[in-house]
Copies of this chain bind each other. A is one copy, B any other.
Amino acid sequence: MSLKLPTWEDIQAAAKRIQPFAHRTPVLTSSLVNERVGASVFFKCENFQKVGAFKFRGATNAVQLLSEEECQFGVATHSSGNHAAALALAAKMRGIPAYVVMPDNAPEVKKRAVADYGANITFCEPTLEARETTLAQVREETGAREIHPYHPLPIIAGQGTAAVELLEEVPDLDMVLSPIGGGGLMSGTGLAVKSLHPSVRVVGVEPQGADDAYRSFASGQFVPSIGPNTIADGLLTSMSPRTWKMIQIYVDEVVTVSEDAIVEAMRLVWERMKIIIEPSSAVTLAALMTGAVSAEGKKVGLMVSGGNVDLARLPWVCHNCPTLGS
């Protein structure tokens, strides 16, 4: 069975479709970061996107694309993270209900965010099996339509719109780096960049502890994550068949970075740029800082995926603290 892939036209249509709902996020620079890595770095700040993450682009595109009939009973997903909040808000804006299945051990701050956006939450045990079973039950009861976080074509097209904006603002980039989790942002970014400027190098970055794309890319065979473990909680998931196929086509290189490098990059951005980015977003700068990607003298765009962090549990605080554990 051949998988249908999104096209450049899908991204252009998505950009138009989500424009009334999503923020056009700023592109920030820092002379200190530039000095530190010996390159000109452009941060595409999706941490300032609605719900604090690029996920709102894909969710909005997917929800807006549904016909009246398709969405009459609402939309549903299982997610402990940014996709849940994104789908909740996208559904609210469409005026339809959202049903979210969350593991009961999800951080309080994420439960609160999803509830604040008006979603109906069903908690389940924190296993993939429980999540899928519970979601199936919820869908049966409600008739809601499932919106998967990174596999659907409209989701990927929506995520690609962030890179379009980046290239509109900085057309002469030499390279664009994106984190790879499920691969939605990476594959949308790759498609957008190669469609607009085929000569721009596209690089994916993963934590060493969740390197399914790196190993898949190296072997040419899809290698799912088994027991991934990283502070970059948005990058724990494995690619989907569609995002893996797109990454093979549109990505020139995949590199990995260590946990220490992620934390150092994240802290540098917080301290010197005064913006809050989540660990998953710090992997790209970490790749520049460690030399995993050589960018000397180049103009480099970084996709900053989000800014949702549990502020009470920062990686540089209290590693030995009996109160918080860690």
Contacts and interface: CB of A to CB of B under 8 A. Distances in A.
Interface stretch (A2-10, A137-145, A215-223, A311-319): A311-319
A313 B313 CA distance: 12
Interface size class of A (residues with CB under 8 A): 20 to 34
Interface string A95-129: 00000000000000100000000000000000000
Contact of A324 (B26, B271, B275, B318): B318
B271 A311 contact: yes
A188 interface: no
A20 interface: no
Contacts of A311: 267, 270-271, 314, 316-317
A47 interface: yes
A307 interface: yes
A67 interface: no
Contacts of A317: 311-314, 317-318, 324
A276 interface: yes
A54 interface: no
A227 interface: no
Q: How many copies does the complex hold?
A: 2
Contacts of A323: 318, 320-322
Contact of A275 (B274, B313, B318, B320): B274
Contacts of A313: 317
Given A311-B267, A324-B321, A52 B274 contact: yes
Contacts of A275: 274-276
Contacts of A214: none
A317 B109 CA distance: 15
Nearest to A52: B274
Contacts of A314: 311, 314, 317
A318 B316 contact: no
A48 interface: yes
Given A47-B274, A321-B322, 9 more contacts: A48-B274, A52-B272, A270-B311, A313-B317, A317-B317, A317-B318, A317-B324, A320-B323, A322-B322
